[in-house]
Amino acid sequence: MNIKLTGTRNQAVGNIAFTLVEVMVGVAIMGIAFVSLYAGMSSGFAVTQLARENLRATQILMERMEGLRLYNWDQIVYSNMVPNTFINYYYPVATGTESQGAPYYGTMSVQNTTLNPAATYNANMRVVVATVTWTNNNVQRWRSIWTYVSKQGIQNYVYYH
């Protein structure tokens, strides 16, 4: 029994292999997928870091504003108990010669109110403005918050009673 195959084996082997063009298209698609994945992860980390920095700035501002609740009118208006400038750090747990982390430079100011229309109690109110600035990737960022303080506010009631 003599079996003769005429080219069917060679055709079958040729049909199961990929051509060079098909391989190159597959590699290009995988390359685009990996670059997109890397860009997405990189962007996600950057957004997360910026959100953390914004949250820390908000925490610093709220800490300063909450501290005002402990002062009476004379301490806020006539003394230097409200600091003009301050510095807080993003990683305050560092000790010794280690870096303290990203510095947040803050300012606080107590200003007269400018109500429109002017009110009779205008002299008994002040505006306290707190601003924090920091640098992220050579970009200056800032957050600010303000509040009104009145002479007959709750701090005087708590302080004197």
The rounded distance, in Å, linking the Cα atoms of 106 and 139 is 17
- Residue 150: partners with Cβ closer than 8 Å, 6 or more residues away: 121, 124, 125
The helix or strand, by DSSP H or E, that contains position 132, with its residue range, turns out to be strand 125-136
103 has a pLDDT exceeding 50: yes
Q: How many other C-beta atoms lie within 10 A of the C-beta of residue 96?
A: 4
Beta partners for residue 104, in sequence order: 88
**pLDDT at residue 117, rounded to an integer:** 83
The DSSP call for residue 20 is H
| DSSP bridge pairs for 131 | 107, 144
The pLDDT of residue 161 is above 50: no
What are the CB-based long-range contacts (under 8 Å, 24+) for 23-27? Answer: none
Task: State the pLDDT at residue 12.
Answer: 52
What pTM value is reported for the model? 0.70
Whole-angstrom Cα Rg for the chain: 33
Q: Identify the residue with better confidence: 33 or 96.
A: 33
Q: DSSP for 65-93?
A: HHHHTTS-HHHHHTSS-S-SEEEEES-TT
pLDDT (tens digit per residue) in 39-83 = 999 999 989 988 998 999 999 999 999 988 888 888 998 888 889
